[in-house]
Structure 1
């Protein structure tokens, strides 16, 4: 795939004297997503201690239902969350979401039974749904097209940073106090973040800290603000977004990417322990390698993409190169099962996870690229995230079913994941259209 140059003038650099409020917004979005994932992973780490203290005698199936309750609510609310964010804006939607999920995090110690933990986990998932659409919409308004990939990479890396930090933070709090405080402390920190987000966030046109040079730079270089909206495009209904082939391609492609990523969020520790024989100490060190390399790779890819676009490269070519190449690299999960060396397996797994994280930088840039107007960015983000999290429900189950069928052999599961990565690469290459605002379609007859 060649990287053609755009026929339009290449994006300009920010002028001297322009304020840099957008980077404060970016840092806040990153912290918000990190808190989101810390609270999401909290119960997964604390559950063995909870079960032991309360003597719940939960079966593995019941533990799975408690942990899975989050994803049923999270995915079920995702379509509404995107629509809601576009209606009320990132300031209010992200604040409401953070207050909701932080409150239910803090209330978790009040649960004393299977159904109590199931209910609080379900409520937590419902509250976390607006987080990604809110952050995506905020980035679309504050970052021009030529800075969007890096901004997206930073925001999305919050999910990996939060997941990696959950184990040492939660276990550390439990070691110093009890499991109750892990929920109380993280819930309180989430409420603090929500307060500062509500106080600090405004769209560029309303933010008193941003000067006219920064606002003009964002608007002139592809920031999705009300000033850049086409009047007819604003009228496109939410339901009519499903009439576009590109939207369906984004849904299928993101489903395929998350199908593989959820291995790293669910079965990866089991693989290291049972397939590779690592002990607890080794699990805590070697297990961090793919996640940490994924953060570095995604930030680097985002910076490279933005630099290429500022140099005049075609936005569609850059986005597709990263998405297709990233998913092709994600198929490196298969050779990880075929090599005998632990270190070679970790290298292949790090390549796979890092490649998928790289692809995600372009995937999360797409809603702002293709939205018909700024009032559709969060909706499209919610739609593709809804599809991707269906994979979060299906993928862990299929991995487990194949492990049962093949007596703990991971090769068939990894082959399935590699196949899904290839399907995703094909979808982004040939089904998703150009990275530009979708045209207004004629009304249905």
Structure 2
């Protein structure tokens, strides 16, 4: 963050010394609320496979390693669709991008209910991943356009919390629908939610300059906190140039580690509880919500703490690192689940881990807006970061499935996840340089080679 020295208040004149945001309007939070609902539905559609998998495995006689393959197939296209998805968000804007993306992922989810073989499930999971790929880069762009830097981490935590809410809600909701009409009907219902949200987004969302409900005081407050005076829009930055920066590589590796653990909860967590503690589908449907609820609280706490530090005058590098490193150190307690003698103690360790994971993720998603050389690069940088983060979505369920299948339990997978969290903490602590807008024209010390 340029223009802010250690121990001083932020230069934003609209941010009072108390560290509180002024009351200038709430339209930006209405936009954020709608975005949060969209990401929630996104994750319900994505996570429906996890709750349905025990039933699908029985119907298609699927062994654990193949089940891991089905879950990871989503991330083959989702991960490598991130950079194109970020480009689409920068090129066409978040309104158009998220509308078509949501239509795509809603229809793809519904079609999974028609699958007749393992091969069809794998193909449809890949189609679903491609449709969902632009969602997070476009969401990061919405936050960068609608929120000043002093509110960006909380806003990022809010839309990112849609994954925790969607993951938590998918457990009881999908379990109830599966119990009532079967897993095929559950996919149809989940897909319909995505289609409905697409039209709601199209009708309501506009950029701040074109939103009919946004008043002048709120517009001025948003613009005053963008911190782009030293980075004109016409700055030319090629995609390959972004990879010269150690900052970008540290963001990629760090987010890989965050997501490696997070995707355990999205993929293998239902099977872990059901198989380890012999829970019925309905009992799991409610107990399984506990880590998800903890993660919601963790995300908002991480966003509030990071933004509070920035408003109090903490350099943005220190504010982001404290939350990233501390959050990932806490995430590593997932390994303690292996020594838990009861389902209650296991849920306590897993809930603490998921709380800390989303605590860190709030700052993860604030970083693209913090470092983008112009507003036109936020989606692209978010896409680059999320590409690496979701390569973990390919590696994590597949590797953990192989480890579980070869060892016969979840001990080795959970310990592995804890070690990856520690690697992430070290990455953010020692590899992440100063957090500031990237500047190719002055040869920053954070470049590679």
Instruction: Give yes or no for contact 2:175–2:282 (8 Å, CA) kept in 1.
Output: no
Is the CA contact 1:145–1:221 (under 8 Å) kept in the aligned structure 2?
yes
Over 3 Å counting, the alpha-carbon distance change for 1:240 and 1:358 in structure 2 is same
Matching of residue 202 in structure 1 with residue 206 in structure 2: yes
Q: Name the residue aligned to 2:82.
A: 78
1:165-314 equivalences in 2 (<5 Å): 165-222=169-226, 229-231=231-233, 234-314=235-315
Conserved 8 A contact 2:292-2:351 = yes
* CA displacement at 1:377 relative to structure 2: 0.7
What do residues 352-411 of structure 1 show as CA deviations (whole Å, max 9, x unaligned)? 11111100000011000011111111111111111111112212233233334444260x
Shift of 1:97: 0.5
Distance 2:315 2:115 in 1: 53
In the TM superposition, 1:370-385 aligns within 5 A as 370-385=371-386
Structure-2 change in CA distance of 1:231 and 1:120 (3 Å) = closer
Per-residue CA distance 1:278-308 (angstroms, 9 max, x = gap)? 4545433332222111111221231232233
Contact (CA 8 Å) 1:316, 1:435: kept in 2 or not?
yes
Note if contact 1:219-1:228 (Cα within 8 Å) is conserved in structure 2: no
Q: Quote the offset at 1:276 in angstroms.
A: 4.3
Secondary structure at the aligned position of 2:436 is classed as coil
2:24 maps to 1:24 = no
Counterpart Cα distance in 2 of 1:390 and 1:215: 37
Query: Cα RMSD over matched residues?
Result: 2.7
**Contact 2:79/2:387 (CA < 8 Å) preserved in 1?**
yes
- Counterpart residue number, 2:415: 415
Please give the alpha-carbon distance, in whole angstroms, between the structure 2 residues aligned to 1:223 and 1:21: 21
For 1:5, the equivalent position in structure 2 comes to: 7
Once the two structures are superposed, residues 297-326 of structure 1 have per-residue CA deviations (whole angstroms, 9 ceiling, x without a partner) of: 221231232233222222221111000100
Local SS of the residue matching 1:150 = helix
Contact 1:260 1:420 in 2 (8 A): yes
| 1:353 pairs with 2:354 | yes
Query: Comparing 35-44 with 120-129, which one deviates more in the overlay?
Result: 35-44
Matched ranges for 1:400-411 at <5 A: 400-408=401-409, 410=411
Any conservation in 1 of the 2:47–2:267 contact (CA below 8 Å)? no
Listed one character per residue, the Cα deviations across residues 76-122 of structure 1 (whole Å, up to 9, x for unaligned) are 21121112211111111111101111122233344333333332222
With over 3 angstroms needed to count, the CA separation of the structure-2 counterparts of 1:34 and 1:240, relative to structure 1, is same
What is the distance in 1 between the residues matched to 2:44 and 2:429?
34
Matched residue of 1:89: which SS? Answer: helix
Change in CA separation of 1:133 and 1:228 when aligned onto 2, cut-off 3 Å: farther
Aligned to 2:392: 391
Unaligned runs of 5+ residues in structure 1 are: none
TM-superposition CA deviations, 1:34-60 (whole Å, max 9, x none): 1111111223334555676xx645555
In 2, the alpha carbon distance for the partners of 1:420 and 1:51 equals 29
CA distance in structure 2 between the partners assigned to 1:268 and 1:133 by the alignment: 26
SS of corresponding position for 2:226:
coil
The structural deviation recorded for 1:425 is 1.0
What secondary structure is seen at the aligned counterpart in 1 of 2:150?
helix
Q: Report what 1:37 is aligned to.
A: 43
**Could you say which residue in structure 1 is the equivalent of 2:435?**
435
Aligned mates of 2:253, 2:268 — CA distance in 1? 23
Q: Which runs of 5+ in 2 are unaligned?
A: none
Using the size of structure 2 for normalisation, the TM-score is 0.89
Give the total of aligned pairs.
436
TM-score (normalizing by structure 1): 0.89
